[in-house]
Structure 1
Amino acid sequence: MFVYAVPGLFLLLFVVGVLRDRRRFGNAVHLGLLVISLSVAVIGAHDRLPPVAVALLAAAILLVPTLGTLVLAVLLILNGRTMLRKEGRSLPNLLSLLVGLGILGLIGLMVQAAFTHSRTLAVLVGTLLLVTGYVAFLFVCFVGYAFLYGRYGRLTAAGKADFVVVLGSGLIGGSRVSPLLASRLEHGRAVYERQVARGQVPILITSGGQGPDEHLSEAEAMADYLTERGFPADRIVREDRSRTTEENLTYSRAIMEQARPGYRCVIVTNNFHAFRAALLARSTGVNGHVVGSHTAAYYWPSATIREFAAVFLAHRVVNFGVCLLIGLLGLAAWWRL
């Protein structure tokens, strides 16, 4: 049973972290380490498993890293083409395509290293694989925990809230609410109506400033969208200074604290953005959790990669430090050839 001691430790860290604050990226990492250590423990105990379970385990170990990676690359490239066709050419819309091509490029280097027997190329590929493995591990942790947090957010929205904060996004033509933003507003309205049905009448805060290419603030356009569809104008407060998600939350927090000290709130954004918004809510001291509205399936891969990149860069010292260490180890291995 000692083999399960490490998974037990990560399980304890995960549970304690979640109980302390669900809005922590460390919870995602602990969950990932729990899954890996538990998998290793199960593999180590394969002699006590039924033959069918051993066969399935072996198939998973062989197929997931090989065939699964190739399939993932192809799907990302196809999604990138869809993004360019439906959303236009921009760097954010290219992300899934670039990641897919990067995976295929790495696979190509691996094949070349195997056929050329070049030690230098083998060290380079090994180093790239370690860096990619580290980033991929964090990405899987991010996606897995974001999914769990999204399920928790639905339960949170059912509790008492003094405010519903809807985060803004860009306007079409500088004045019109986009389908993405409309999804947030409709979900915010649904959260508000559930609160009213329970006897709680919260304030809805539309949060978003005016960009250089916009004719009015996002907060004003969002409020107009809601009131035109029958939402009570006296229950809307506009936060119209923010330019980023962090500012959305910082300025909305000031409004809420001034109006009602000890408030509780529900923050509404799109589902792909919910976990990063939750991390920022924690760092800015907002007393509330985040719920996500529906997003078109084709939009998910690029949007999720973008959200992960932002979280990765938010912890750049640690992450770049690990990548640099791996690079130095690869350089040392090459030097000893």
Structure 2
Amino acid sequence: EIHALRERIRQIEAQIKADEAKVKQLTAQAASAKEGDQENLQTQIELAQAELALDQDEVADAQEDLVRAGGDERSRLQRLVKEHESAQHANEGTTQSNSRSSSPADVAFSQGSLLAHWSNWRTLAGHWAQLLQAKQDALNKAAALSRNHDALERHVGEEQSQKQALAAQAASLLKAGKTESDANSKQAAASALSSLHRLSADEKSLADLDKRIQDLRELGAIYDRWSASVERRERASLHDLIKSALWIILTVLAVVVLDRLIDRSLTRITLEHKQQITLRGITRFTVQVLAVLAILLVIFGSPNQVSTILGLA
């Protein structure tokens, strides 16, 4: 397919050169023609220019087809450069926005807390779902445009035979000069011009569809890369969330184990019963307070500002 497209582009470009030479030749003839021949030569120039415009639109469509098929690496690289520059500008704006919009909770508490991990994981999960949906929407739109492009391309292909007939008719007008009937000549020229302009408009529509399809496919690829990046961050955040939850479970288990160790230790100490109860209560209370503080640190994180610590105290 890529080889056929390149060959098609080469043939159309050769035809464009021939069309340009024809327009130049007719323009030179019109400059030195008699007044009676001016109108006929002007009609011939318009026909030649219409053929030239049609071939230019056709080669533009063929080049877009080549890009869409992956055979024009230069155009693809140019698109990637533009995409990279746009992404850089977007990242700069996002960084500045994030630096100005830090919430009090982010300033007061550590980002390593369980609540921070949970909020981050939930946010990333939402972004990931949105990116997947955006990617699917872009691909669906590209598929719909591809069907429209194929239908229009079949229609244009059916009209290509008309183009050849119109080109032959235009050539006959170019060679004949004044015909036997000026009215028939003008009518034929007008019909040829109208058909060539219509074909040219169809070719422009095809090229535009090619660009839109390529843009949507590249947009889908961008969404895919973004979603993969967000998914990795989401998994890392989920891992941190699970780790924080495990720290809480380990703290609770440590309290249970220490409680049993305290009971065993106190049974070996020769104290009065009332003293043992008091010591056991104080020890358990101390362990439980420390455990609660540790769990709170895991859940909320440690305050990052001295004023916050004083306010909590």
TM-score (norm: length of structure 2): 0.22
TM-score (norm: length of structure 1): 0.20
Q: Write 1 or 2 for the structure with the bigger share of helix.
A: 2
Higher RCO (Cα < 8 Å, 6 or more apart): 2
Larger Rg: 2
Q: Write 1 or 2 for the structure with the bigger share of strand.
A: 1
